[in-house]
Chain A
Amino acid sequence: MADFKDKCTIIGPTVAIRGKVKAGEDLVIRGRIDASISSTKLVHVDKDGVVKANVEADSVLVSGVVVGDITATTRVELMGTARVVGDIASPLMVINDGARLRGKIDMPAVDKAMEERYVEQPKPVVQPKPAQVAAPPPGLAAKPIEPARKPADSAIPKPITSERGTEPTAAKVTTVKTPDTGRKPGNVQPVVASGMTDGARKPLPGVDPKAADKDRDLDIDAIVDSFGIEPEVEEIEMGGDDDMLSIYDVDGQNQEPTQVGGGPIVAKKN
């Protein structure tokens, strides 16, 4: 409790907040908050606490009531007295005996593990050249994936180079670009393409292409979501490890932080 006094903000039982709350320090809620909460640290909804809004934080500990979605970058724990209605997304999740929850639980780590498996599966489908659509898939697959390897080969690259004469390098560049751009945006197609490259090496027969596509779509959505969260976390954690004050400056206080943060940003834009 001594720690609470120093580093924590405790919102007492008679306090009600409506609107938006942002915190760069641990937050203990004993009152009522009808406000979206975003924190770079711990949010603890105490026994008497009632939160009716979405909660985003590094970790969330619920002993009270939360009606809304909970998103944590590290951990969510529901104590025995917790009452939660809403979806929870967190890499680590603890539900203690007695807690009541109605909602979905999404653990990005699970998605990643699943994705890896499904990435391997699609490979077989593409590579084996099954009976279904033999000609079109290899052609499509060959462009993004194999160009880097095949240019050295004889068949396809030669005619192109011979026609244009001095453009072999250009052809290589373009081939290189397609895979890169595919990875960055994180769209559905790029992911599939990368999977196919890997898959070419490890064929796994017996997978329904339709089912695999569905799974891929689901995974990708989840992955995109998780990616959207993770970069922020990494930045925050870096600052936190180095210096507590730096977190506070960046997130919380206006004066120093705005000046410090604003300078470089403006400079970059110019």
Chain B
Amino acid sequence: MSAERTILGPTLEIEGEIEGSEDLVIQGKVNGRIVSKKSLTIDQTGDVNATVTTEGLAVSGKLNGNVEASDKVEIRREGTMIGDIKAPRVVIADGAKFKGRVEMGVD
């Protein structure tokens, strides 16, 4: 069932480091560092204060921190992000709030 996917529910508060090789959905609060080899989704109730390294990132909640993605970063309409993005593909949807630098060059 949800073997390839971990959902961190809305009442979950994590302080520290998260590492995963599966899709991660964050609905709660995370402070620290997130490293994912797959996609990371920050849901509307999600509140993340962390440095993120991932393949793909979708933000519908709040993200405060720098992001380095190997594929794509998407800030959705409800999303708020403060921090720098480094990714080959970046999507910022209409209505999304973003403050930071974007770097799409291939390094």
Contact = CB atoms under 8 A, between A and B. Distances in A.
B1 to A, nearest CB: 6
Interface string A221-250: 000000000000000000000000001100
Nearest to A254: B47
- For chain B, the bracket of interface size reads 20 to 34
B38 to A, nearest CB: 9
B68 to A, nearest CB: 19
Contacts of A104: none
Contacts of A5: 1-2
A15 interface: yes
Contacts of A8: 9
Which of B3, B4, B12, B29 is packed against the most chain A CB atoms within 10 Å?
Answer: B12
A188 interface: no
B10 A252 contact: yes
B12 A9 contact: yes
Contact of A9 (B4, B7, B21, B29): B7
B13 interface: yes
Interface in A1-21: 1, 4-5, 7-21
Interface stretch (A22-30, A64-72, A73-81, A83-91): A22-30
Contacts of A106: none
Contact of A253 (B6, B10, B19): B10
Given A12-B2, A12-B4, A254-B29, A248 B10 contact: yes
B12 A25 contact: yes
B32 interface: yes
B14 A16 contact: no
B18 A247 contact: no
A31 B10 CA distance: 19
Contacts of B18: 15-18
A8 B10 CA distance: 10
B19 A15 contact: yes
B103 interface: no
A7 B12 CA distance: 12
Contact of A14 (B10, B13, B21, B47): B21
A35 interface: yes
27 contacts: A8-B9, A9-B6, A9-B8, A9-B28, A10-B2, A10-B6, A12-B3, A12-B4, A13-B22, A14-B20, A14-B21, A15-B19, A16-B19, A17-B16, A18-B16, A18-B18, A19-B32, A20-B13, A20-B15, A21-B12, A23-B9, A23-B11, A24-B11, A25-B9, A31-B6, A35-B15, A253-B45
Given A8-B9, A11-B8, A22-B12, 13 more contacts: A9-B6, A10-B2, A12-B4, A19-B16, A21-B15, A22-B13, A23-B12, A23-B13, A25-B11, A31-B20, A248-B11, A253-B10, A253-B29
Please list the 4 inter-chain residue pairs (A to B) with the smallest Cβ-Cβ separation, ordered nearest first. Answer: A19-B16, A252-B11, A24-B11, A22-B13
Interface of B: 1-22, 24, 28-29, 32, 45, 47
Interface of A: 1, 4-5, 7-25, 27, 31, 35, 247-248, 251-254
